[in-house]
Amino acid sequence: MDTPTFVQRPRPLPDGFLAALQAQFGERCSLAQSVREHHGRDESPYPPMPPEAVVFARTIEDVAWVARYCHDHRVPLIPYGAGSSLEGHLLAVQGGISLDLSGMDQILDVHAEDFTATVQAGVTRKQLNEALRDTGLFFPIDPGADASLGGMSATRASGTNAVRYGTMRENVMSLKVVTADGRIIETANRARKSSAGYDLTRLFVGSEGTLGIIVEVTVRLYPQPEAVSAAICNFPDLDSAVRSVIEVIQLGVPVARVEFMDAAAVRATNQYSHLSLRETPLLLFEFHGSPASVREQATLVQEVTHGNGGMDFEWAEQPEDRNRLWTARHNAYFAGLQLRPGCRASTTDVCVPISRLAECVGQTAAELDQASFPYTIVGHVGDGNFHVLMLLDPDSPAEWAESEALNHRLVECAIAMQGTCTGEHGVGLHKQAFMRTEHGQDALDVMAALKAALDPHDILNPGKVLPRPPAP
Amino acid sequence: MDTPTFVQRPRPLPDGFLAALQAQFGERCSLAQSVREHHGRDESPYPPMPPEAVVFARTIEDVAWVARYCHDHRVPLIPYGAGSSLEGHLLAVQGGISLDLSGMDQILDVHAEDFTATVQAGVTRKQLNEALRDTGLFFPIDPGADASLGGMSATRASGTNAVRYGTMRENVMSLKVVTADGRIIETANRARKSSAGYDLTRLFVGSEGTLGIIVEVTVRLYPQPEAVSAAICNFPDLDSAVRSVIEVIQLGVPVARVEFMDAAAVRATNQYSHLSLRETPLLLFEFHGSPASVREQATLVQEVTHGNGGMDFEWAEQPEDRNRLWTARHNAYFAGLQLRPGCRASTTDVCVPISRLAECVGQTAAELDQASFPYTIVGHVGDGNFHVLMLLDPDSPAEWAESEALNHRLVECAIAMQGTCTGEHGVGLHKQAFMRTEHGQDALDVMAALKAALDPHDILNPGKVLPRPPAP
């Protein structure tokens, strides 16, 4: 498997295309280099590829107008939310327009009695939870960044709560979507279940802006748990921590969160977030439920961790202690970056069946110990998902090649274990090389047929998700 | 909204088509009238429309061969599982071949440590649970009939446990599917989550045999709960029962099951299943969890029901008592049929946001009290889903027209409440008339584009799910 390189090859714009766009949107259409460069990158290791213009949408009608205009003129159109993608999703590999939806940030409806909220695509997860504060409800999906709900839907994101509450796949109830040619559809209603036709909601969740532009999102909410407790458990080594997680999951304990950090990740987090965690591999647990249920869960989990050589639980009793801990965990990515000033990071994202997790993490750590660059490992291990943050010298093609080779071996190992190349970050550019191995050519052809049916001129985020077909 | 009538209009078969099919499959290809009639009907109120031949598949290669053959000759192909559909899914409206998958009944893999099982499409839910008996795990999705897992996937089925465990949407992890032209794809791997491309799994779940033929299903399993308790609570009227459910759900109590039966359904069940339940509207509850958690849930729910005029809980303590109760509930459909010997039944299946449930059920019951035929109401009310079983004289077009008009008004009411025309039975023939109202023409056009992309010759269960386009 070769590491593909991605080169920007803008499609030529029709004469007068940008002038008409500016006439339509005035100041909300920017050609400024700084704005374009900002919209031509994300948190991936790739150098930026700026679009030719950025349009700041305020309404669904704005989005529909831009879609129709780009569709009519065969111009690429890349939806942009918070810019926090990790795999090159936002790079304008074929030029075109970046459509910034961050200004569509209204919370439209909270149906507390039905546990649903409907928001515009630019609303971020923190903004939504802020708005829910007095309802007794919360929205659990929490990727590291304060991503937009539109972007989280488009990448099928998850985070630390997925082991209990699921991912965006399970928690998006309905979407409003603008199609490639500017039609506006709703993918479902607010009923908890329905058998009325094809599941358009799940078709657009995870489509990374390539099948339609998500403009509104209706999500499921959950009651704030009556009792919450969180604890840290240190382990003598990585394997004993991972084995504890496997046992906890196999016992069916409904933990709300179980996060792994290796010693390097803990060290980075201590420095970045001014904490004093013991610098060994550790697990962060959180338990949700009634007071009795939380006690029961904690007791069971403590038995399991002790049996695997885990040290005593350190409890984070107060809400502010828990918040500090989880904020630190969410900042593990940025903390890691500080371990090697000036580095760029490449992140792995495999997810395997839980029974294979120890083997997969163990093999990976053994290989990483031979690597010429520093790394950290963190993971949503209750789902079988973990990330290696590889801290690379941006001026060293050798380190980049080494990291790519390592990621390739890790992904092939995960796929051989019936796992996936990406648990939650999406494909973007970086994971395309694995799509054929993971899905097989026939399944990829089915995906390509769906893409051609919904975006016949290939204007929606072109060059992403699906690899180019193999040479004949 | 007119009640469409469905008339069988077989496509002409090419010369020698059936002879070649018989040459390929020998005795496993039947042209016998009794076999064809059996495969040209389901549990819907429609008169049967037999296919021109029935092929009994044993292997994926059989299925792929038939698909290619039908694809090459533009002959309709209808996958057939247990024959328990309720909405006309299996009727050969355009003739063609019924492909019976019930002989593909092998349980291929149980990964108890990952909580997954992979089965052939013809395995039924009871067969799977029988095989899981010694693993400590179970598969919760339980439509009334002992349906096949392939059919349950194809109709996005659910049942009494969905309020806690979700529907087939949430519980199918992966499918093996034969495409219209005979390719074999796997839609996903066994990782609990993945962001690697379009969600093919959810695309085929609920597609009712119109996008591909499901030949293997990988489902999620759950630990058998440590403690289980079930209770019956009678109510003075329908409204107090439904209001109790709404409060229980809004309190976030993780009930495993909460089922409603009206007095007529209870009476029918007493007769059919030899029980002596008090014949008022009632709720059947089941609680799963640790002993402490089950006690907590039961206490909370008892407070709610008492507050709404519910009578004392009657507990079903022993496993055999619970089994008798749930078997009786699952047989409510057949019990209902006995209320009017010789009748045919038409079943409604709306699902609304829980906040609107009392209003929706109340309006419906008021209308039904004016109807000229008997009826029962049962419901998976924790999901906002309920069924009216309308017991019709098969020789009375007037009763059929009356029942259709009533169903139309109910569906329009549910859709106006942001609900759906079908919570779990699927569209088949019977719900097509509502698809435009529920989804809008633009979303239906997107569904039609998906259908055309995956089945360009419209051979897979043609005439189902999507209504014909409106006259121009």
Q: In terms of C-beta density within 10 A (0-12 exposed, 13-18 middle, 19 or more buried), how is residue B252 classed?
A: middle
Q: How many CB pairs under 8 A join A and B?
A: 271
Name the residue facing B198 among A192, A203, A414 (closest C-beta): A203
For residue A52, give the DSSP letter: S
> Whats the size of chain B, residue-wise?
472
pLDDT of residue B2 exceeding 70: no
CATH 3.30.465.10, applies to B107-223: yes
Domain ranges of chain A: 107-223, 227-416
Nearest CA in chain B to A415: B189
Do B422 and A194 lie within an 8 Å CB cutoff?
yes
Among B378, B387, B354, smallest CA distance to B246 is for B354
For residue B279, give the DSSP letter: S
Q: What does the pLDDT average to over B419-428?
A: 98
CB atoms within 10 A of CB B23: 10
The answer to whether residue A340 neighbours chain B at the CB level (below 8 Å) is: no
Residue-wise burial string across A324-360, b where 16 or more C-beta atoms lie within 10 A, e elsewhere: ebbebbbbbbbbbbebbeebbbbbbbbbbbbbbbbeb
pLDDT of residue A470 exceeding 80: no
Do B424 and A193 lie within an 8 Å CB cutoff?
yes
Q: What does the pLDDT average to over B201-209?
A: 98
Do A351 and B431 lie within an 8 Å CB cutoff?
no
Sign of CA dihedral B228, B233, B238, B243: negative
Query: In this predicted model, what pLDDT tens digit does every residue of A238-281 receive, in sequence order?
Result: 999 999 999 999 888 999 999 999 999 999 999 999 999 999 99
Q: What does the pLDDT average to over B400-420?
A: 97
Helix axes A238-250, A291-307, angle to 10 degrees: 140
What are the Cα distances from residue A461, in Å, to A452, B203, B293? 13, 21, 48
Do A384 and B205 lie within an 8 Å CB cutoff?
no
CATH architecture of residue range(s) B17-100:
2-Layer Sandwich (3.30)
Query: In this predicted model, what pLDDT tens digit does every residue of A11-60 receive, in sequence order?
Result: 999 999 999 999 999 999 999 999 999 999 999 989 999 999 999 999 99
Please report how many Cα atoms fall inside a 13 Å half-sphere around the Cα of residue B271, on the Cβ side: 13
**pLDDT, greater one: B440 or A226:** B440
Q: In which residue are the tokens 């087939």 written?
A: B168
The answer to whether residue B171 neighbours chain A at the CB level (below 8 Å) is: no
Sign of CA dihedral B457, B459, B460, B461: positive
- The arrangement of strands across the sheet holding B116-120 comes to B107-111, B116-120, B213-220, B172-178, B184-186
Please give the structure tokens belonging to residue B15.
């010369």
Segments in B116-251 forming alpha helices (H): 125-132, 149-154, 162-165, 168-171, 200-204, 238-250
Q: Considering only CB atoms, which chain A residues are within 8 Å of B292?
A: 292-293, 296
Mean model confidence pLDDT for chain A: 95
The answer to whether residue B436 neighbours chain A at the CB level (below 8 Å) is: no
Are residues B40 and B92 in contact, defined by beta-carbon separation less than 8 angstroms? yes
In DSSP terms, which residues pair with A138 in a beta bridge?
A: A222
Give CA B10 to chain center in angstroms: 27
Listing DSSP states for A373-428 in one string gives S-EEEEEEGGGTEEEEEEEE-TT-HHHHHHHHHHHHHHHHHHHHTT-BS-SSS--T
Query: In this predicted model, what pLDDT tens digit does every residue of B37-74 receive, in sequence order?
Result: 999 999 988 999 999 999 999 999 999 999 999 999 99
Do A195 and B466 lie within an 8 Å CB cutoff?
no
What are the Cα distances from residue B327, in Å, to A220, B145, B273? 32, 10, 8
Q: How far apart are CA A441 and CA A472, in angstroms?
A: 13
Q: Considering only CB atoms, which chain B residues are within 8 Å of A352?
A: 191
From A205's Cα to the closest Cα of chain B, the distance in A is 8
Same fold, B17-100 and B227-416: no
Class of domain B227-416: alpha beta
Nearest CA in chain A to B175: A443
Q: How high is the pLDDT of residue A6?
A: 87
Q: How far apart are CA A326 and CA A324, in angstroms?
A: 6
Percent of chain B residues topping a pLDDT of 90: 94
Q: How high is the pLDDT of residue A342?
A: 93
Q: How far apart are CA B215 and CA B302, in angstroms?
A: 44
Name the residue facing B196 among A113, A195, A422 (closest C-beta): A422
Nearest CA in chain B to A171: B170
From B232's Cα to the closest Cα of chain A, the distance in A is 24
In a mutational test of the B interface, the residue from A198, A228, A294, A380 whose CB has the highest number of chain B CBs within 10 Å is A198
Q: Considering only CB atoms, which chain A residues are within 8 Å of B465?
A: 197-198
Do A353 and B191 lie within an 8 Å CB cutoff?
yes
CA-atom Rg of chain B in angstroms: 22
Are residues B263 and B202 in contact, defined by beta-carbon separation less than 8 angstroms? no
Q: How far apart are CA B100 and CA B339, in angstroms?
A: 32
Residues sharing a CB contact under 8 Å with residue B109, sequence separation 6 or more, in sequence order: B116, B117, B118
Do A427 and B167 lie within an 8 Å CB cutoff?
no
Nearest CA in chain A to B190: A418
Q: What does the pLDDT average to over A224-238?
A: 95
Nearest CA in chain B to A294: B293
The answer to whether residue B433 neighbours chain A at the CB level (below 8 Å) is: no
Q: How high is the pLDDT of residue A30?
A: 98
Give the ipTM: 0.96
Among A389, A387, A464, smallest CA distance to A430 is for A464
B 19-78 residues with CB < 8 A to A? none
Residues sharing a CB contact under 8 Å with residue B34, sequence separation 6 or more, in sequence order: none
Mean model confidence pLDDT for chain B: 95
Are residues B464 and B429 in contact, defined by beta-carbon separation less than 8 angstroms? yes
Name the residue facing B203 among A198, A223, A442 (closest C-beta): A198
Query: In this predicted model, what pLDDT tens digit does every residue of A325-365 receive, in sequence order?
Result: 999 999 999 999 999 999 999 999 999 999 999 999 999 99
pLDDT of residue B300 exceeding 60: yes
Q: How high is the pLDDT of residue B105?
A: 98
Q: How high is the pLDDT of residue A412?
A: 96
Q: How high is the pLDDT of residue A184?
A: 98
Among A34, A25, A85, smallest CA distance to A55 is for A25
Largest CA distance in chain B: 70
Helix axes A60-73, A17-25, angle to 10 degrees: 170
Name the residue facing A198 among B423, B440, B450 (closest C-beta): B450
Are residues B400 and B406 in contact, defined by beta-carbon separation less than 8 angstroms? no
Query: In this predicted model, what pLDDT tens digit does every residue of A414-440 receive, in sequence order?
Result: 999 999 999 999 999 999 999 999 999
Are residues A149 and A106 in contact, defined by beta-carbon separation less than 8 angstroms? no
Name the residue facing B197 among A158, A415, A435 (closest C-beta): A435
From B31's Cα to the closest Cα of chain A, the distance in A is 32
Do A111 and B427 lie within an 8 Å CB cutoff?
no
Q: Considering only CB atoms, which chain B residues are within 8 Å of A436?
A: none
Among B39, B46, B44, smallest CA distance to B77 is for B39
pLDDT of residue A1 exceeding 50: no
Q: How far apart are CA A64 and CA B101, in angstroms?
A: 45
Among B247, B226, B225, B223, smallest CA distance to B235 is for B247
Number of helices and strands in chain A (H, E)? 17, 18
Q: What does the pLDDT average to over B161-171?
A: 97
pLDDT of residue A3 exceeding 70: no
Q: How high is the pLDDT of residue A471?
A: 59
Q: Strand, helix or coil at A244?
A: helix
From A459's Cα to the closest Cα of chain B, the distance in A is 17
pLDDT of residue B3 exceeding 60: no
Residues sharing a CB contact under 8 Å with residue B225, sequence separation 6 or more, in sequence order: B256, B288, B289, B294
3-state SS record for B146-164: CCEHHHHHHCCCCCCCHHH
Q: How far apart are CA A25 and CA B48, in angstroms?
A: 59
Q: Are strands A116-120 and A213-220 parallel, antiparallel or unpaired?
A: antiparallel
Query: In this predicted model, what pLDDT tens digit does every residue of B78-101 receive, in sequence order?
Result: 999 999 999 999 999 999 999 999
Please give the structure tokens belonging to residue A442.
């026939």
pTM of the shown model: 0.97
Nearest CA in chain A to B354: A114
Listing DSSP states for A137-188 in one string gives EE-----SS--BHHHHHHTT---TTHHHH--HHHHEEEEEEE-TTS-EEE--
Q: How high is the pLDDT of residue B317?
A: 81
> Whats the size of chain A, residue-wise?
472
Q: In terms of C-beta density within 10 A (0-12 exposed, 13-18 middle, 19 or more buried), how is residue B46 classed?
A: buried
Q: What does the pLDDT average to over A442-463?
A: 98
* Backbone torsions φ then ψ of A334, nearest 5 degrees: -70, -35
From B393's Cα to the closest Cα of chain A, the distance in A is 28
Listing DSSP states for B23-75 in one string gives HHHGGGEE--HHHHHHHT--SSSSPP---SEEEE--SHHHHHHHHHHHHHHT-
Nearest CA in chain B to A431: B196
Q: In which residue are the tokens 């990952």 written?
A: B114
Among A93, A58, A79, smallest CA distance to A179 is for A79
A 69-128 residues with CB < 8 A to B? 111, 113-114, 116
B 248-287 residues with CB < 8 A to A? 250-252
Q: How high is the pLDDT of residue A102?
A: 98
Do B446 and A179 lie within an 8 Å CB cutoff?
yes
From B137's Cα to the closest Cα of chain A, the distance in A is 10
Listing DSSP states for A212-229 in one string gives -EEEEEEEE-EEPPSEEE
The answer to whether residue A305 neighbours chain B at the CB level (below 8 Å) is: no
Q: How high is the pLDDT of residue B468?
A: 81
In DSSP terms, which residues pair with B216 in a beta bridge?
A: B120, B176
pLDDT of residue B175 exceeding 90: yes
Are residues B54 and B30 in contact, defined by beta-carbon separation less than 8 angstroms? yes
Q: In which residue are the tokens 């033929």 written?
A: B213
Query: In this predicted model, what pLDDT tens digit does every residue of B428-445 receive, in sequence order?
Result: 999 999 999 999 999 999
Query: In this predicted model, what pLDDT tens digit does every residue of A281-300 receive, in sequence order?
Result: 999 999 999 888 899 999 99
Query: In this predicted model, what pLDDT tens digit does every residue of A134-176 receive, in sequence order?
Result: 999 999 999 999 999 999 999 999 999 999 999 999 999 999 9
Name the residue facing A447 among B190, B198, B439 (closest C-beta): B198
